[in-house]
Amino acid sequence: MCEINQETLISILIKKFNKNIINANYETQQLKGGTVGDVRLVTGIAETSDGEKLPYKIVVKTQHKWERQGDPNSWRREYDLYTSDLGNLFSDSLRWAECYHTEMNKEETQTKLWLEYIDGVVGKNLTIKMLEKASEELGRFQGKLCKNPPLLNNSSCFTQISWAGDYYKIHRKQTKEYKYIRAKNCEIPDYLKQMLVDIDEETESIYANIENMPVIFCHRDFWHENIIYSNGKIILIDWDCAGWGFMFEDIIQLICDETDVEYLFEYYNKFIPAYIKGISEYIDISKINDIYLYAWKMLLQFGHNLVRWYMQAESSGEKNQKIETLQKLYELKDIKF
**In this predicted model, what pLDDT tens digit does every residue of 17-37 receive, in sequence order?**
999 999 999 999 998 755 567
Domain boundary residue among 59, 90, 116? Answer: 116
Q: What is the CATH number of the domain that holds 109?
A: 3.30.200.20
Are the C-beta atoms of 298 and 268 separated by less than 8 Å?
no
- Residue 337 has a pLDDT of 52
Higher model confidence: residue 156 or residue 290? Answer: 290
Domain boundary residue among 81, 116, 151? Answer: 116
- Residue 319 has a pLDDT of 94
Considering the chain, what percentage of its residues have pLDDT values greater than 90? 54
**Residue 224 shares a structural domain with residue 282:** yes
For 67, the domain range is: 6-116
Determine the residue type at 300: L
Round to whole Å and give the CA distance between 134 and 227.
8
Q: Residue 288's beta-bridge partner residues?
A: none
Count of domains for the chain? 2
Q: Model's pTM, two decimal places?
A: 0.88
- Residue 72 has a pLDDT of 80
Q: What is the CATH number of the domain that holds 245?
A: 3.90.1200.10
Instruction: Provide the mean pLDDT of the chain.
Output: 87
Round to whole Å and give the CA distance between 101 and 83.
10
Task: Write the DSSP assignment of 44-110 as a string of letters.
Answer: EEEEETTS-EEEEEEEEEEEE---BTTBTTGGGHHHHHHTTTGGGG--SSEEE--EEEEEE-TTS-E
**Is 90 exceeded by the pLDDT of residue 142?**
yes
Average pLDDT over residues 149-177: 67
- The answer to whether position 71 is within a domain reads yes
Domain boundary residue among 70, 87, 116? Answer: 116
